[in-house]
Amino acid sequence: MRDLAFIICLTLSFQGKGLELNYDKSKNQTTASTSSIEIKLKENYVTKTFDFKIQYAFAGERLIQRPENANIVFRALSHRWRFLEESNRQAVLFMDGERFSLSSKPTYTSVIGEKFLEETLIYEIRISDIEKLAKAPNIEIQIGGVEGIVREKQLARIKDFLSALQDSNVRKN
């Protein structure tokens, strides 16, 4: 119970700095991530939520060095409509007119609840490409036929995340 309270305290203390840390003692693994960043869809899709976050997992409680790669995790919550599964899952980001394609083979998962369906797509990306994302005034996202936009204010979370990763002494205590 004491460890759980400490982890909750730890997560809350880093959230304001653009970094959420979650330590799994059984795996001896820490996951660092941004909080969820909402994607404003261009069309009216049957979905309640479509968002993404940048995430990186490392062994132990302390980040020894800055990672070379991380993941972009897209999450959609809808009423039993598998629109991400139905898409070709090829994700394309447009930053200032520049086209950037993510991997054509992301990890896809779905969870069916009583009244909802949660879909997740995970793409691996280099930290240097995340730095490019953070500098863009806005990003247009297209995954199959699904299109959306992320504004500069929301991208500040990525900048904060990158700044927090600069500190090679990110740790649990």
pLDDT (tens digit per residue) in 78-93: 876 777 776 677 889 9
125 torsion bin: left (phi>0), alpha (psi -120 to 50), beta (else)? beta
Residue with tokens 């520049």: 98
Taking phi first (over 0 means left), then psi (-120 to 50 degrees means alpha), and beta for anything else, what does residue 89 get? Answer: left
Per-residue pLDDT, 71: 94
pTM, rounded to two decimals: 0.79
What is the distance between the alpha carbons of residues 11 and 7, in angstroms, rounded to a whole number?
A: 6
Q: What is the mean pLDDT of residues 85-113?
A: 85
Least confident of 34-38, 43-47, 51-55: 43-47
Output the CA–CA distances (angstroms, integers) from residue 4 to 9, 10, 23, 61, in the order listed. 9, 10, 10, 14
Q: What pLDDT score does 94 carry?
A: 93
- The conformation of residue 171, written as its DSSP 8-state character, comes to B
Structure-token pair, residue 114 = 């009583």
How many residues are given for the chain? 173
